[in-house]
Structure 1
């Protein structure tokens, strides 16, 4: 009879360990297996089989059921307990007993297939074809697992590199944030909580040569790296232009708007930008698509009447007009992103402007830093473990009473 062909992909000899205390049967099955392209090692007892399995890899293990000392069932159980977790081994049992209890006991011990005595050539070929197929599938699975492990390692390393870049970008963004207390009569406090690893918001308070302060809060559409890069550009350009008069501030924002609009992308940003001169308490504000600033005074909170213009990047020919204001004694100026007023609680209800005013009122008599921290803590409590859906930015300014400042001329 012609041999049943091996499954495609297994051309090398199968490495087989055979255990049988019958020398004649051991010689016979060894010869038959070698004619089926197998490399066979035969031993007469379980002890020698266990010793070989500890030092050598086999594709297949054939053991007799009845042997002196440790029988086939006990041997298979021992082999499976020692090696089943770290190597593949196709186990076949030879037996003259074909009753259901015998077969069930062998299967429970870990036997994969049976050869019944007296051994039939066709039966052996069928058993070997099944064994080759299992070995081939195991080797294929090993290769795939190796490729998956390598791909996982590459992905993990790439993720670590990206995470490192994001950490560096986040640290750079935070270095742009202003000092909490500045010289020359101005006190500053802020809250800054990105929805993702890095923020599309940016906050700036910059000293000017004429003793004024340029302050701004920008909110770029979207989240993540693109928004963070755009907000970094806005911060850098405003710091570079450093407008020190209302007219210069208007020109700077017109230029910035044209730069964003010329990028031919759907990106845009809302911005509130202002000048404040602590010595005179005078200031000017431009609001480009941003929520109105709040004036926090003893016993009252109100939104300042600052006309709004289009967000930066919508129209390249947009104009921006500064609005004049005076910051009264004991008053605090509060700027915020829409991530604050749109912050939802667990039921999906947004804070809105009225809710923000209530939060500010709860700590209105406290120092400015306490007010900001209180609002930030209550926003975090609204979200719980869910985290923020949008970037959170809030900037509060106040003039320090009794501090001498320059004349601003």
Structure 2
């Protein structure tokens, strides 16, 4: 016989017995009590269904042949009512042991059989099997509960991270220049992160002496670390607000030492300068960045500059401003390498030559429409595959109309 020591260390199984023979019910109740079970009895299927509605059972033992609804119909009703949400081990008692009968019962939802007349060993085996199945069910139920709780915590953590990213992205976008005119200076830009937030930053800051500080920075990498670094660059340049060529050189040198002193592998390329809209006079520093384009009425050409190292490479690097002139009607185009490295479906990069072609084709448009044309061309180029790198482009123009009005 199966050892009773392990049986009675477990919680009792709650069993519903269904049979129209009260003597058989009394006998089976006694046997089950010796096997650490508690039993309730029903004399027919309707009474059994009522008890199932009002109580929680681990197991149902039902006779096949009963007046009214038979055992097969009862099992089908039980399975229909309980579905998969609640486990119930069903055993059928019968004197019929032919294969057709057994298959019929299994199809109805019976888990096991007890054949009359009952044998003690057979009963113990059936109860041991039922106990294992019930234990497995409750273990799975606990694990599912833990998984559901863990999943809920993960969803909440993801929601909070997403909310933080949304807030960071909104903050980053608020740093972008106002696209209305700044006196005679007109500005337009496009800014599209490869991920939720960008390692690029664009700035245009009016200064007290009438100049405008303009810059476009591209921090190595993507995502949160790059976005934090680009935010720092934007904040520091806004805070330093250099308004002379010497102050511009000093500000970039200070920023370079700050980034290099962080003892990380992060670095940034930067194009930064001063522009006086009233005179068209400007100074520019190119720190490891792609040279900007100058758009004349009849030509588009990259600006020839003496380059400097990216920010964060060497603490004592020099950053000397180069003078330039931007006559009214000409345009200065700054851009990140995400623009020139934008790939088509075949994996071919746009490159500087391709951007030059796009700019030349759109130079007759007003500055805002020109930038929209460039952005549309880039979207068509990369298609639904998305961006591999952040895209940023800043266009500046001194308006001829406003300059004439000022004069």
- TM-score (norm. length: structure 2): 0.96
CA distance in structure 2 between the aligned counterparts of 1:380 and 1:55, rounded to whole angstroms: 63
Q: CA deviation at 1:329?
A: 3.3
Structure 1 306/239 Cα, relative in aligned 2: closer, same or farther at 3 Å? same
Match of 1:126 in 2: 125
CA distance in structure 2 between the aligned counterparts of 1:236 and 1:61, rounded to whole angstroms: 72
Q: Which runs of 5+ in 2 are unaligned?
A: none
Q: Does 1:315 align with 2:314?
A: yes
Give RMSD over aligned pairs: 1.7
Q: CA deviation at 1:264?
A: 0.3
SS at structure 2 position matched to 1:266: coil
After superposition, residues 78-227 of structure 1 pair within 5 angstroms as 78-227=77-226
Q: Does 1:35 align with 2:43?
A: no
Q: CA deviation at 1:25?
A: 1.2
Q: CA deviation at 1:70?
A: 1.1
CA distance in structure 1 between the aligned counterparts of 2:34 and 2:165, rounded to whole angstroms: 63
More moved, 389-398 vs 338-347: 338-347
Q: CA deviation at 1:400?
A: 1.1
Runs of 4+ in 1 over 3 A off after TM superposition: 1-8
After superposition, residues 268-279 of structure 1 pair within 5 angstroms as 268-279=267-278
SS at structure 2 position matched to 1:40: strand
Is contact 1:4-1:126 (8 Å) kept?
A: no
Match of 1:288 in 2: 287
CA distance in structure 1 between the aligned counterparts of 2:141 and 2:403, rounded to whole angstroms: 77
User: Which string of whole-angstrom CA distances, capped at 9 and with x for unpartnered residues, describes residues 72-96 of structure 1?
Assistant: 1111111101102221101111111
User: Which string of whole-angstrom CA distances, capped at 9 and with x for unpartnered residues, describes residues 277-328 of structure 1?
Assistant: 1111111110011111011222321111012111100111111111111113
Match of 1:233 in 2: 232
Q: CA deviation at 1:153?
A: 1.4
CA distance in structure 2 between the aligned counterparts of 1:74 and 1:285, rounded to whole angstroms: 88
Is contact 1:200-1:221 (8 Å) kept?
A: yes
Is contact 1:244-1:275 (8 Å) kept?
A: yes
Q: Which runs of 5+ in 1 are unaligned?
A: none
Is contact 2:327-2:398 (8 Å) kept?
A: no
Q: CA deviation at 1:4?
A: 5.9
Q: CA deviation at 1:213?
A: 0.7
User: Which string of whole-angstrom CA distances, capped at 9 and with x for unpartnered residues, describes residues 94-120 of structure 1?
Assistant: 111111111111111111111111111
Match of 1:365 in 2: 364
Q: CA deviation at 1:340?
A: 0.8
Match of 1:56 in 2: 55
Match of 2:20 in 1: 21
Match of 1:332 in 2: 331
Is contact 2:330-2:397 (8 Å) kept?
A: yes
User: Which string of whole-angstrom CA distances, capped at 9 and with x for unpartnered residues, describes residues 248-278 of structure 1?
Assistant: 1111101100000000000000000011111
Is contact 1:3-1:36 (8 Å) kept?
A: no
CA distance in structure 2 between the aligned counterparts of 1:49 and 1:385, rounded to whole angstroms: 61
SS at structure 2 position matched to 1:403: helix
CA distance in structure 1 between the aligned counterparts of 2:147 and 2:12, rounded to whole angstroms: 27
Is contact 1:184-1:404 (8 Å) kept?
A: no
